Structure 1
Amino acid sequence: MTTRPAYLAVLFAFVVFALPAAAFAQAGSTRLALVIGNQNYKDLPALKNARADADAMKGALTDVGFDVQLIADAEKAGMERALIEFRNKITADSVVLVYYAGHGLQASEENYLVPTDAKVTDALDLPLVALSANQILSQFENTEAGSIIFILDACRDNPFLDKGGKTRSIGNKDSMSRGLARIASKHTGTLIAFSTSPGDVAQDGTGKNSPYTQALTAALRTPGKSIEAIFKETRAKVVETTEGKQIPWENSSLVSDVVLIPEEGGPKVVEASPCDLAAAHPSDPDRVGPSVEYANLDTQVAIPACEAAVKGDPENMRFKTLLARSLDKAGRGDEAYKLNEVAMAAGSLAAYHNMGNLYRKGLGVKKDFAKAFELYQYAAERGHPEDQNNVGYMYFQGQGVKQDYAKARVWLEKAANQNWGASYDKLGLIYLKGLGAKKDMERATDYFQKGSDLGDRSAMVNLANLYKSGTGVKQDLKKAFDTYSRAARLGAVAAYVNLGNLFAQGQGVEKDPVEAAFWFTLASREGHEEAMERLREALSKLSDEEKETVKQRLEDWARSRFG
């Protein structure tokens, strides 16, 4: 049996929505759904809820106007036939939904839907015995479908765990990795909704249906609810039902906020404006459309777009807060302050968050950490996830408030329960260092892992540090290298330095002085003193040809990051 590296993991439930601006809004558009429930497997453990969850989804989708085709306990040939038959029904502007409940696996950053007759003895078997989620999605992207909804409600436990809780070998001796491979949709406007946080398992629950499916099917039937609101409501219900053990998660880039069952006289779809598309805040509860990270906000686009939006709809506080955010980025704090004042008076949590940022930075106002804390706390108490994290962080640092690790932990846990990745990182540090809590390496590692799974680069670095040193975990230099690499792609300077050291010393990767110099150069550009010293040492040992290679690597890096 080959031992080629392959990273295999349980695939947890998630949803991919691809919704163009006119989705669901067009009168008479066809709604088609294929629902697959695989529960009884020949070579893998049977699942408790897969068939019942598929039945429940069929009922909910039928109630909201879908023509539903259901297949159960399908072998590979049956799944392929059903997909082909379903694809051939699609007409121009159809709303297409595929729901899969069953075992799912990830190998080498590819996700697979597992038929009931699949026999998996090696990760290399998967492309032959299972169906690639990316390939299935591409089948529908190449039709004239107006919108695509792809729901994978996959395995709720690891089918390759032995009774002792350790990963059972499947032939190639590789252990399973955590987390999911992302699916990149070619359609404009997507929403990815996980039934649980990346890297965690979904609960079966005690009833006929899993907590996630039970909550989702109820939310789908609620009149007047947009897609965004449906998943927020589902998340809140699942967190309550599972007592925080399962936390659904969404990543939205929808350009329309769609209402499945419009109330009489209510909107069918709320379009994302040019202002929303240019400046929408990731944690704004009133956000419409995809979010824009502060670092990526282009003020030359956002300010005129939001000025036009405010002029066209002066009573819309969302536009005022987005314009204030854009002005903040442009350094125009005085103007941002005035807009935030108006929106705060109307109760906008985004405005409280914006104003807290101004006081924290001293932009347009005198720097005042205590005032920033007060503003953040107002929004945090009303559910704003980033400000729950901000309050926790300020307690953690003693910034604007007396340092209090116990209170920091309370607020960080609230933000973590809304999947704010940075909060998991700070919780990891609390348990790693025993700050106001008993040291707990297992818990610290788990929190760093969750933060890493949610894309927090600091959590990735801290997790990699544990694997590099073997602190609280079995030393694994390869895993440390892979995790530092992820953090480096997100711009973590500490990851640059560590990668340089690993390449210089040949730890977890083949020794390569050119790569070492490349990473030390990136860190040096950020003013990292240790990296500067290491870079001087590394360059002194390189030939002119090798130095030219470093230069080319730096140019390639810049192109890959900035286009």
Structure 2
Amino acid sequence: MSKLSMVGYLRKRAVSIAPVCFFLVLSLSAGFAAEVEGRRAALVIGNSAYEKLGTLPNAVNDASRMGEVLRHANFEVTVGENLDKKGTEKAVRDFLRTLNDGDVALFYYSGHAVQVAGENFILPVDASLASAYDLEVESFNINNLLDYMRETSSLQILVLDSCRDNPFKNAQFFLGEKKVTVASKDGLASLTPHQGSLIVYSTAPDQVAYDGGGQVSPFTDSFADNILTPNAEVRQILTEIRAEVIERTNGRQVPWDVSSLTSQFFFVSRQNVLIVGESLAEIRASPQQTRVKLGIAPPIASGGMKLTAVFDKLPAAGNLYLDDSRISAETEVDVARIQDVVYVSEPGEKPVELISYKMKADTGETVDGVVAIVFDPAIAPEQETVAQAPAAQEAASSTIRGASEKAEPVKVAMTLDVGTGFAPVSKALPQQQASRNGWMRIDKRSPSAQVALESEMLVVGDLISAEDVERIAIRPALRAGEGEVVLTPVSGLAEAVPLVIGVAASVNRCDELAADRLDIQGVAEGIFPNDLRADEAIAVCREAIAEHPQVPRFRHQLGRALYANGEYDAAIVEFKAAWDAGHVRSGQLLGRFYQLGAGVEKDPSKAIPFFEAAAARGDPYAQHSLAKALIEGNGVEEDLQRGLDFYAKAVEAGHTYAMNGLGAAYLYGERVPKDVERAHSLFTASAARDDIWGVMNVGLLYRDGVVVEQDTARARALLTQAHEGMHPYAGRLIALMLRKEGSADPHEIFRLFRESADRGDAWSAFHAAEMMSADASLMREPGENIRLYALALDREGGTPSERAGERLAGSDPAELNREIQKALIRLGAEGVEADGVLGSKTRNAAQAILGGNVPKAPAELLADLIGREWIAGKPRLDML
């Protein structure tokens, strides 16, 4: 076999894009480092079939074209067509999940959009915008999405094909607590680029782009035609696109851009590997031969390279021909035909001919070669015979390629869990595969399987040294399914055969049982806390951690299962480990521990940094928690406007708790102007997602006849549904309704109060204690009413806590002291007797149990002990 030389090995990794309000943002920000470079994630949405707005015939076609182009540019593409609001939320979450380890983030949207107060909102197909309240629950703020992209990737691309005239029914919408007027129904608002960014529109801001008469819009068509140009710098591409669009639209549409780029950027890059055989070849022929085929073996090149050859030293006594065309020193020969070049001699004595040539790639790489034709009288003449290239040349040419095409491929299978990163191929390869020589080309790669060699991503057409095959790794897309990667030999031993790598990806059992709702780093939709089966989830998540110790998501999900099981100390360990490894939802839950004082000393101020960091990444639960803290001033200085902004972001992402929290603020007019219709809109959106909080709040509206017609039967059914779903205080609301009606069994009312009290509701604890105080037969044992008053006081529920404190202050001191001592005994204190006297032994025992400063007032001491006991009873804190 010949020696193989590699001339040139150059990569310029880049990107691709397209559409008709092409609003492109490239932000070359730093801050993200990954083991594999050049990974790309894209979200492509096309909305055509609007239910209540005008249809857009090209939008889905534009998105389909974009998805196809981006896959060729090695993006992991999430495509959504005709998405409603829930579908849009899911698509955005899926996209953000792929960004967890992506270098380049791209979002493409084709459909209706609206600009309000200088911000741009995309509209799902079920949007109507018929009332001022609809924008916050029916749209998605593009500015927010771009912020999340910046937090999780090193380069962002935003493409908006939505610069059209949109027929909105309403001209004013609420943003936060303000009602603002839509500035214009034409086009989108202009954005100022950040440093290292490029913003491009298919037409000027506030102007309308054209769908055109074809299946795709003029801009998308032009962009798709130019996007895969190898190693073309973005500004060069935009110049060509601008000229094409102006020509296609007769000057009515002029692409527009603003740049703050500080370096070059390429949409599509190409591996430039050029492999050639011997640079000096000798052909021996009879002096009587008049035609000699040079038999120069074409080089092997990575996909997409265009190669030409020129003969810079022609024969001294003859000419070169390709077919019937004579070759001159200026003739460029397609390298694919170079083996067909023939030397035709002149009559007379024939000297040794030295014919030199130069092969050149369109990327600049060159290689020189020489063919020596020696006329040897010892060789028998053969009329018009064609000399063959040396065997060494053939080894790197089509002979091997042809043999490989006919050979049965080696097939290997990889079974992988989605969201666990790149997995090495080496474990799946047969033993003989690792010892192969030569080169292989990636001839096929399913969109659901990405390929990397060490730290670099590979694309179709790239060459891999055969000995490097065992070093490549495969990563499946973040969804279950099957894919395939095919490597075909292009040089090497004659027995070389193709390698077909089958990839089957599935969701790990831990993800199925314990995935968190709306987790932007999860791989499943997740489940509500009341549906989590803790024991089973704990077992499978521990197995997942053992198999994939590098994946923080599994540690978070184990922590979630432990949290639901009341194992708070163990849960905190897992959440901290997951947070340190970059899983942001764990930060939100760690913050909740500090707010509740579960497993750690209660300190709401320590929760805020966790909430802030996770909220910036786009985690809706953290945005909700931060919003509440800012509005209530819990651990942070009160900031109403900022709190409302984070509530709005969480609502936009589909977070039902935020819908209810914001709805409650408007229902009761707390800190914001009262607006019951807006509250109804938010509660209804939550209930439609089967959230027990939304169900409970809609039940209250029916109970009170607010916005809707009063219907107590409907109200009770909804509240019962919420209570059965483990809502903390829906049982108390039912009990109060029954009490008001005056015909219910007191034991049924008490049961509802008691169940809600056990779930941590202060009012329920107070009401149950009141009923016990009035009817001792309801008590399981003496003193239970005092303990429930203490629980109400500990839960810090405002009015119920205050009233419980008053009851405890008026109770018999000896009885109160005995309950303190009984609580200490239940908590494991030694040397304490329930004698009703708070002596030094009792105080020392309390100090040992509670640590820190023990309250002097007996009522407060009892409340602290009962609260500690309640936590030890493993309540579902994740439901609060």
TM-score by length of 2: 0.32
Rg: which structure is higher? Answer: 2
By percentage of residues, which structure has more helix?
A: 1
TM-score by length of 1: 0.48
